[in-house]
Amino acid sequence: MTVRFGLLGAGRIGNVHARAIGSNADARLVAVADAVPASAKAVSAAYGAEVRSIDKILASKDIDAVVICTPTDTHADLIEKFSRAGKAIFCEKPIDLDVARVRKCLEVVAQTKALLMVGFNRRFDPHFMAVRQQISEGAIGKVEQVLITSRDPGPPPGEYITRSGGIFRDMTIHDFDMARFLLGAEPVSVAAEASVLVDKQIGRLGDFDTASVILTTRAGQQAVISNSRRATYGYDQRIEVLGAKGMVAAENQRPVSIEVANAKGFTRPPLHDFFMTRYIAAYANEIAAFIKAVGSNVPGKPDGADGLAALLLADAALKSVKEKRTVMLKEIAG
Amino acid sequence: MTVRFGLLGAGRIGNVHARAIGSNADARLVAVADAVPASAKAVSAAYGAEVRSIDKILASKDIDAVVICTPTDTHADLIEKFSRAGKAIFCEKPIDLDVARVRKCLEVVAQTKALLMVGFNRRFDPHFMAVRQQISEGAIGKVEQVLITSRDPGPPPGEYITRSGGIFRDMTIHDFDMARFLLGAEPVSVAAEASVLVDKQIGRLGDFDTASVILTTRAGQQAVISNSRRATYGYDQRIEVLGAKGMVAAENQRPVSIEVANAKGFTRPPLHDFFMTRYIAAYANEIAAFIKAVGSNVPGKPDGADGLAALLLADAALKSVKEKRTVMLKEIAG
Amino acid sequence: MTVRFGLLGAGRIGNVHARAIGSNADARLVAVADAVPASAKAVSAAYGAEVRSIDKILASKDIDAVVICTPTDTHADLIEKFSRAGKAIFCEKPIDLDVARVRKCLEVVAQTKALLMVGFNRRFDPHFMAVRQQISEGAIGKVEQVLITSRDPGPPPGEYITRSGGIFRDMTIHDFDMARFLLGAEPVSVAAEASVLVDKQIGRLGDFDTASVILTTRAGQQAVISNSRRATYGYDQRIEVLGAKGMVAAENQRPVSIEVANAKGFTRPPLHDFFMTRYIAAYANEIAAFIKAVGSNVPGKPDGADGLAALLLADAALKSVKEKRTVMLKEIAG
Amino acid sequence: MTVRFGLLGAGRIGNVHARAIGSNADARLVAVADAVPASAKAVSAAYGAEVRSIDKILASKDIDAVVICTPTDTHADLIEKFSRAGKAIFCEKPIDLDVARVRKCLEVVAQTKALLMVGFNRRFDPHFMAVRQQISEGAIGKVEQVLITSRDPGPPPGEYITRSGGIFRDMTIHDFDMARFLLGAEPVSVAAEASVLVDKQIGRLGDFDTASVILTTRAGQQAVISNSRRATYGYDQRIEVLGAKGMVAAENQRPVSIEVANAKGFTRPPLHDFFMTRYIAAYANEIAAFIKAVGSNVPGKPDGADGLAALLLADAALKSVKEKRTVMLKEIAG
């Protein structure tokens, strides 16, 4: 079966997904919608698709699934609409920045029994997948500590910060999902510290740019996250998992892995400078997993519940910073 | 301009090139020929191309360029035919196993002024390209020593050995080209040792499976090649260049770069087990370079002269092994 | 000037320091005291020293300095006695497990103007020293995040746990000192989580075996410590410092750095399995620094204040775990 | 039993051995001789030894063993004298630069049944020893290829070159010994290339500064040696062994193993810049092995035959370069 796609939003990440669909033998990009006609046209031309409005895609019988890459504040509405229209949905994270709104949206998804997959792309990175597989195969025994280092090359513009929901909901949320993916158990409490060390404007906007977080499960397993909005050496993405029998780790990826040696020492080039080049394989694997889920009519993972869980951890972290205490998840989750 | 391609030979390597053409925005696969109809059909279906005979492709006005992936003993004839037909030609190495035949073929290419590029894919590996670039930028000063380690995961079947022209013309030939690429000067002499350590059948067929070669330029620069037809840990492909000011090296590539630590130590997974996965980016870059050459009507590199030069080094190496002495290139090249 | 030493305590760590003194051209081991005569005798024989009682060493005019390696609960008393006797003092950490007792002891040191150096050996590890030097030279700009991973190969016996003061005062205390050494500023708050995942007996004794700690300075710099009493792959000791301009890190040290590759992958041997072999160079450097301080009559570093500061952080961490909140240092330090 | 030592020659390498003896619990340095009285005095003072003449050491009943660190042209004479005097002998390589002289000397050693060990220190490097052990334990199966990279940080002064016997007898000789140590079989032929790329003065003195050598055993196993008298990044000492079942390698050692990352990339400091700091553990292990051999009255390894075998390979390599052909060992060894 070939899955026929509608793409909602033809911006930066929309293009990434369009390419993934285009190069997948089991999928075809049928239609593209974007508020900017030129963007929609460019993508449609490159992949032999039509330009259609969102409403038209909603009504299209030749569309099985949509990829939602529109602005965050439209996600929940679109998920609800396309759920009701019986389309399978892949939605970029987050579903919404507000927990109540996410919950309401997921109720609709549940009622309509729609297939909803949420874009936590890192779960599909080949190296992180291999880490997960080692854990699953018992190579390190029961997980005891997870260490996640996640640093952006540089801070985003102030305008982006304003709309982002803050560092925990925008950046750390990927690490919250990764921690859940690796711990194999739900965190029950969060202790977080956050500072403004990189960009004072970020502080003026009420956000942070440097954060350290400890998650703890009921059994006492710990996940430690280290975030910064600045890493001069590139996009720093590492994970490490300690278990009763050993440790498994995934190192940083490099676009070019050479080494130059001279009197100053041995130098390797910087890391990727952009999440799209760093996670190029992850994005392709992610869409392939969605296509497979649609084709076989099984639930996709990570799903709406995963999106909600990560958002709750973000809210708990923010509360921990503000109240200078360990916050229990049940305080947030109600 | 979109370069319109005919693919001659739809086997393993033909498929690799078809995919590279298919995913390149400046190219289109128009026609596919293969002695096995099912092979041609499979590729043509996957990339929206037609199945045509080689003769028909030769006569096709909607074909600008061909990729020759047919058996080795057809290469020279096809290059001559398509040169005369005014098509641009990308030919898998080698042009022929016989130096005289190669020379005759290249005369036709010269007369017809055809664009001919030869498939030494490793020049297009991102990591090896970066090594070359460091040399070009003067990072290590004048090149003094090149070390190339090139080992296959396992020996090919006896039938392949028979047709291959022997280890130097089949396997080391890539390293000869790489040595020329990195030395920045022509080797003038070859000293080689070769043994049968892996597979006795290879010895019975008159070939070797283990080889060490020293190339020397007029200025005294040295390139050392280490080959084996067996490496249990995967496809071992490393280069290292020592210069007056420093060293630059490219390490092995791994499909998955994780590490598992336990009481037995720290273990990373084996290397790629196949040249096609190891050099996937190189193949895409190679075809992209050919497309660019065709589109801009400039000579492609590596070309027929590079193919000939590598073959002469292979013949010199074989002569060195047999006569137990350093062989001067001019003895071979005449 | 040759510094003449008395060694108090000829156990495991006493032997380490005896060897360091013996191999230092500016020092001589004159006398050794130990409650177990055979231990004292063995060390004295190996280094040409006499066996003397502690009281006799206290009264010896041919002793300039002492190294205190006796049980923890004797440290403060001995420091006071030898301070009053005008001897220079190197004392293994901790001065005492009780903050009030440490303070009283340090008052005596201050009154007597004794030279007191405390054994935080890791500050003298060549690799960690090099990290500190890079920071001092401005290589990474202002420090923003410190990550310390410190895991023991296995849990100590229950008897040791009982006397140790708990994981924060016994094990993490080294990391607290390292964090202060690297941050270049005093932590003002501590958030910690601790669990029992390795050995239930440790829990029954009221202690923890797995801990994660976040320290924060007034400026918002963060240090994250990851501890475990179990690491099957050896003694795991890593530090990493992120600054405004870059990052500097020290990887684990290995007794043997070879790699074996086969079909299962590439394997390096485990890490050191013992702190004494891991930090052999650190111990030698540490005693050399003490000898230099004694010889030049300048204050040694780390000193009593450093010992106290690390102990306060340990107490704050324990309080944070118990009260499930961020603890301000001023609550503890008074 | 404590082995009582006389040290002949208190220069650079003599000091290294004096320290190794001084720190070994089973040995004592009794006497030191040197043509320069100040040198002998300095060493004797540091280790509580006497200054004696060589002749007096020869006649001393309180001396069990000597370490010969005098100039090369005195080695053979001294070995003969001390063999006849019944002393155990550790002699720095080479025994002599002339094969005939070495043979004559070894006859005396054989007649007197003296214990003679030759200073190929690298066999005692912990990392190279571990490589050898992996081979012995069968980890990589039968050895097929050995790769040795050995590069000095910079060329020696012209005066040294004159006395050295040339690059093969002075520098590569260590690699010839290492190749024999790792191959587990004797090379039967040598093919070598040598150039002057680093320092023209070396060429004027009739020597080379850059060399590549292939050794081959009767079974066809190959060892490839890559030498240069210049490596801006430090003292480059690597070995790699490919076997039927896998590969084992020892990487370069670094005095400080940190990494600094910034926008220019990830930089580790250069290697050791001197063979004495690089091989500090090897020198200590080497003397310990000699002490053990003396104490237990078993033959030491490597011995005079090993010294001769490496010298023969050096002579064969030089002949190969001059005659531009593969040289059989039996041509040299007679």
Segment D81-114, tens digit of pLDDT: 999 999 999 999 999 999 999 999 999 999 999 9
* Nearest Cα residue in chain A from C321: A326
CB contact under 8 A, A233 and D269: no
Residues of chain D positioned with their CB less than 8 A from the CB of C46: 25
Residues of chain C positioned with their CB less than 8 A from the CB of D46: 25
- Residue C320 in tokens: 């944070």
Residues of chain B positioned with their CB less than 8 A from the CB of C264: 267, 270
DSSP character at residue D94: P
d(CA D263, CA A233): 5
Q: What is the pLDDT of residues A247-277, one digit of tens each?
A: 999 999 999 999 999 999 999 999 999 888 8
d(CA C191, CA C321): 8
d(CA C219, CA C183): 11
Task: For the beta carbon of residue D23, count every other beta carbon within 10 angstroms.
Answer: 15
Residues of chain A positioned with their CB less than 8 A from the CB of B251: 257-259
Residues of chain B positioned with their CB less than 8 A from the CB of C263: 232-233, 270
DSSP string for residues in B64-80:
-EEEE-S-HHHHHHHHH
* Predicted local confidence at residue B57, as pLDDT: 98
Alpha-carbon torsion B311, B313, B317, B322, what sign? positive
Identify residue C266 by its one-letter amino acid code. Answer: F
For residues D189 and D329, is the Cβ–Cβ distance under 8 A? yes
CB contact under 8 A, D266 and A267: yes
Greater pLDDT, A77 or A297: A77
Nearest by CB to residue A232, choosing from D233, D262, D268, is D262
For chain D, count helices (H), then strands (E).
Answer: 14, 15
Identify residue C147 by its one-letter amino acid code. Answer: L
Element housing B143 (H / E) = strand B143-151
CB contact under 8 A, C266 and B233: yes
Q: What is the pLDDT of residues A275-287, one digit of tens each?
A: 888 999 999 999 9
Residues of chain D positioned with their CB less than 8 A from the CB of B324: 189, 325-326
- Percent of chain B predicted with pLDDT > 70: 100
CB contact under 8 A, B246 and D232: yes
Alpha carbon of C142: minimum distance to chain A alpha carbons (Å): 10
* Predicted local confidence at residue A286, as pLDDT: 97
Nearest by CB to residue B233, choosing from C232, C233, C261, is C261
CB contact under 8 A, D212 and B145: yes
CB contact under 8 A, B193 and D216: yes
What is the average pLDDT score of chain C? 96
Alpha carbon of C205: minimum distance to chain D alpha carbons (Å): 38
pLDDT band at C47 (very low <50, low <70, confident <90, very high): confident
pLDDT band at C203 (very low <50, low <70, confident <90, very high): very high
Residues of chain A positioned with their CB less than 8 A from the CB of B248: 258-261
CB contact under 8 A, C261 and D255: no
Picking from D233, D235, D273 by the largest number of A CB atoms within 10 A of its own CB, the best residue to mutate is: D233
* Nearest Cα residue in chain C from D248: C260
* Predicted local confidence at residue D165, as pLDDT: 95
d(CA B282, CA B272): 14
Picking from A267, A272, A273 by the largest number of D CB atoms within 10 A of its own CB, the best residue to mutate is: A267
pLDDT band at A48 (very low <50, low <70, confident <90, very high): confident
d(CA A256, CA A277): 12
Alpha-carbon torsion C170, C175, C177, C178, what sign? positive
D131 — contact with chain C (CB < 8 Å)? yes
Nearest by CB to residue A262, choosing from D233, D262, D263, is D233
CB contact under 8 A, C258 and D248: yes
Query: Phi and psi at residue A68, in whole multiples of 5°?
Result: -95, 110
- Residue C306 in tokens: 């450093």
Dihedral angle of Cα C316, C322, C324, C326, to the nearest 10 degrees: -10
Element housing D321 (H / E) = helix D304-323
pLDDT band at B212 (very low <50, low <70, confident <90, very high): very high
Please identify among residues 256-295 of chain D the ones whose CB lies closer than 8 Å to any CB of chain A. 261-270
Chains linked to A by 3 or more Cβ pairs within 8 Å? B, C, D
* Predicted local confidence at residue B23, as pLDDT: 78
pLDDT band at C297 (very low <50, low <70, confident <90, very high): confident
| Rama region for D44: left / alpha / beta (φ>0; ψ in -120 to 50; rest) | alpha
For residues C189 and C216, is the Cβ–Cβ distance under 8 A? yes
Please identify among residues 17-36 of chain B the ones whose CB lies closer than 8 Å to any CB of chain A. 23, 25
Q: What is the pLDDT of residues A86-118, one digit of tens each?
A: 999 999 999 999 999 999 999 999 999 999 999
For residues A276 and A291, is the Cβ–Cβ distance under 8 A? no
* Predicted local confidence at residue C237, as pLDDT: 98
Evaluate the omega torsion of the peptide bond into residue B299 and state whether it is cis, within 30 degrees of 0: no
DSSP string for residues in D200-219:
HHHHHTT--SEEEEEEEETT
* Nearest Cα residue in chain B from A261: B247
CB contact under 8 A, C249 and D261: yes
C317 — contact with chain A (CB < 8 Å)? no
| Rama region for D9: left / alpha / beta (φ>0; ψ in -120 to 50; rest) | left
What is the average pLDDT score of chain D? 96
For residues C180 and C307, is the Cβ–Cβ distance under 8 A? no
* Nearest Cα residue in chain C from B255: C265
* Predicted local confidence at residue D311, as pLDDT: 97
pTM of the prediction? 0.96
For residues A244 and C254, is the Cβ–Cβ distance under 8 A? no
A22-36, D238-252, D299-313: range with lowest mean pLDDT? A22-36
Closest CA to A136 of A35, A227, A216, A243: A243
d(CA C232, CA B267): 13
Q: How many CB pairs under 8 A join B and C?
A: 43
Cα D149–D153–D155 angle (5° rounding)? Answer: 105
d(CA A120, CA A307): 8
Element housing D6 (H / E) = strand D3-8
Residues of chain B positioned with their CB less than 8 A from the CB of C151: none
Q: How many CB pairs under 8 A join A and D?
A: 43
CB contact under 8 A, D257 and C246: no
Task: For the beta carbon of residue A162, count every other beta carbon within 10 angstroms.
Answer: 12
Alpha carbon of A234: minimum distance to chain D alpha carbons (Å): 7
Picking from B188, B232, B331 by the largest number of D CB atoms within 10 A of its own CB, the best residue to mutate is: B232
Q: What is the pLDDT of residues C121-174, one digit of tens each?
A: 999 999 999 999 999 999 999 999 999 999 999 999 999 999 999 999 999 999
DSSP string for residues in B274-300:
SHHHHTHHHHHHHHHHHHHHHHHT---
For residues D171 and D150, is the Cβ–Cβ distance under 8 A? yes
Is pLDDT of C334 > 80?
no
Q: What is the pLDDT of residues D301-315, one digit of tens each?
A: 999 999 999 999 999
CB contact under 8 A, A126 and B255: yes
CB contact under 8 A, A266 and D262: no
| Rama region for A304: left / alpha / beta (φ>0; ψ in -120 to 50; rest) | alpha
Long-range contacts of A48-55 (CB under 8 A, 24+ apart): A49/A7, A52/A6, A54/A8, A54/A78
Give the length of chain D: 334
pLDDT band at C26 (very low <50, low <70, confident <90, very high): confident
Decide: helix, strand or coil at residue B175: helix
Residues of chain C positioned with their CB less than 8 A from the CB of D130: 256, 258, 269
- Percent of chain D predicted with pLDDT > 70: 100
d(CA B166, CA B206): 8
pLDDT band at B233 (very low <50, low <70, confident <90, very high): very high
Looking only at Cα atoms, what is the longest distance across chain A?
A: 67
Is pLDDT of A334 > 80?
no
Picking from D21, D131, D248, D258 by the largest number of C CB atoms within 10 A of its own CB, the best residue to mutate is: D258
Picking from C196, C197, C199 by the largest number of A CB atoms within 10 A of its own CB, the best residue to mutate is: C197
For residues A155 and C222, is the Cβ–Cβ distance under 8 A? no
Residues of chain C positioned with their CB less than 8 A from the CB of A144: 197-198, 210, 228, 230
Alpha carbon of D25: minimum distance to chain C alpha carbons (Å): 8
